[in-house]
Structure 1
Amino acid sequence: MELRLASAEEHDRVGELTVRAYEAFTLGPADPYVARLRDAASRAEGAELWVAVEGGRLLGSVTYCPPGSPWREIGRDDEGEFRMLAVDPAARGAGAGTALAALCEERAREQGAVGMALSTLAEMTDAHRIYVRLGYSRDPGRDWSPLPGVDLLAFSKAF
């Protein structure tokens, strides 16, 4: 499996993969968040858009949000943060999600971060298992709600 920054030619594919990965957690095509999930080009412009590929097949992606990125939500100045960890439903269980999360940690350490933070929906239990396996803990003091009825759980990890 190769981990690398997404090319501009892949942005549409990454956006569609992200929408598919989040499909069970959105309110359908009319959900305004779907447009944000699909807009991989904006994520690549304001953060780092990483992909996992194998044999030309796109397995997953993640948006790493270093300090100063407009995509950050809960990360403190001395932490890294990642968002929109997405694995193609057909590729789940192959390690792409874990590899992408670990890559974000590596990027954060390279930039001098002392930890990592992220937000997730309570229903994203597969992702929670990845985070716990990588040493993250629930951080309820940073739980938040971007919109009424959308409650996000925070996880964090110190390096």
Structure 2
Amino acid sequence: MDFAIRRANPDEYDLLGEITAQAYLRDGLLDFGESDEYLGELRDVAKRAAAAEVLVAVENGRLLGGVTFVPGGGPMADIAGAGEAEIRMLAVDRAARGRGAGEALVRACVDRARATEACVRIVLSTQRTMRSAHRIYERLDFVRTPERDWNPLPHLDDITLLTYQLTL
């Protein structure tokens, strides 16, 4: 592991937004492809960074991927409640996958959650097809919480997001 995990710099926002968008598009995770309105959210790193902490994995000056850490509540939280932090929008550039950057980003979020006062767990949502991410979460002792699974687009029945949590 020859990369560093740190906060994203504003001059990296556009590139990270594109890495994130392309990861979701190329992995077939957006229902409507380029017209999916969530794609704009994935690309808008500045908006995320204003409301949460955006972390990146960097190797020799090259951005490998990133994640959004939501320390609790606020506009970036999807499912986090009181005493919970949330992980959102984990993505690693396709060319950099399989080298531990995704796991290192998740570990950094766990470390931040442990350092957050009154935080007792970290939660996240994921799609059924994100199996590589599921393996990372399970390796780090996250457990499935099917009672929290939810649908961000209620008018589409087949978009249920799976949830995981790690009690700190």
Q: TM-score range by the shorter chain?
A: over 0.9
Identity %: 48
- Report the equivalent of 2:131: 125
Match of 2:29 among 25, 46, 69: 25
Indicate whether 1:39 and 2:44 are aligned: yes
Q: Provide TM-score, normalisation by structure 1.
A: 0.97
Q: CA-atom RMSD, angstroms?
A: 0.9
1:27-67 Cα shifts (integer Å, max 9, x gaps): 31001111111111100111101100000111110000111
1:81-129 Cα shifts (integer Å, max 9, x gaps): 1100000011111101000001001111111311110000011111000
- Asked whether the 8 Å contact 2:73–2:80 carries over to 1, the reply is no
Indicate whether 1:83 and 2:88 are aligned: yes
Distance 1:119 1:68 in 2: 15
- Report the equivalent of 1:67: 72
TM-superposed CA distance for 1:76, in Å, is: 2.0
Distance 1:89 1:129 in 2: 17
Match of 2:121 among 115, 126, 129: 115
Residue type of the partner of 1:126?
S
- Report the equivalent of 1:134: 140
Distance 1:151 1:31 in 2: 16
Residue type of the partner of 2:47?
S
- Report the equivalent of 1:145: 151
Structure 1: 4+ residue segments shifted above 4 A: none
Query: What is the DSSP-based 3-state SS (H/G/I as helix, E as strand, rest coil) of the residue aligned with 2:35?
Result: coil
Gaps of 5+ in 1: none
- Report the equivalent of 1:156: 165
Query: What is the DSSP-based 3-state SS (H/G/I as helix, E as strand, rest coil) of the residue aligned with 1:25?
Result: coil
Residue type of the partner of 2:149?
D
Distance 1:68 1:130 in 2: 24
